[in-house]
């Protein structure tokens, strides 16, 4: 009985220590068919995104960053899974603290 209890504690501690310190989550995004004019650090073209499982009319948001591994081609509406995590290291003041990666 005692060895089972010790084994349970060891497995629990192992699972906790293997957790990624980086808070990350996977979200479903829709990417609209055209980039639009927007202003970040200066004038630029932004993707239009929606988060969730369905497209909502008129609910597009500007996305100023890039998505690692995603190659955007105008004229297509995409439904993708995006891993959102915290960036590590020094982050410029005008940059996002999040990293976006295609799953």
Of 62, 60, 98, 96, nearest to 82 by C-alpha is 98
pLDDT digit string (tens) for 43-92? 999 999 999 999 999 899 999 999 999 999 999 999 999 999 998 888 77
CB neighbour list of residue 50: distance below 8 Å, 6 or more residues apart: 29, 30, 32, 56, 59, 60, 61
Residue 96 binned pLDDT confidence (cut-offs 50, 70, 90):
confident
Residue 41 pLDDT: 81
According to DSSP, residue 33 is labeled S
pLDDT digit string (tens) for 10-31? 444 444 444 444 578 999 999 9
Is pTM beyond 0.75 here? no
Residue 29 pLDDT: 98
């Amino acid at each position: 009985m005692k060895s089972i209890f010790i084994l349970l504690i060891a497995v629990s501690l192992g699972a906790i220590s293997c957790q990624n310190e980086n808070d990350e989550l996977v979200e479903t995004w829709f990417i609209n068919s055209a980039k639009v004019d927007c202003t970040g650090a200066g004038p630029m073209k932004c993707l239009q995104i929606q988060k969730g499982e369905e497209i909502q009319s008129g609910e597009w948001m500007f996305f100023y960053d890039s998505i690692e591994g995603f190659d955007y081609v105008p004229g297509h509406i995409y439904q993708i899974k995006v891993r959102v995590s915290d960036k590590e290291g020094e982050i410029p003041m005008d940059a996002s603290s999040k990293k976006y990666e295609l799953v």
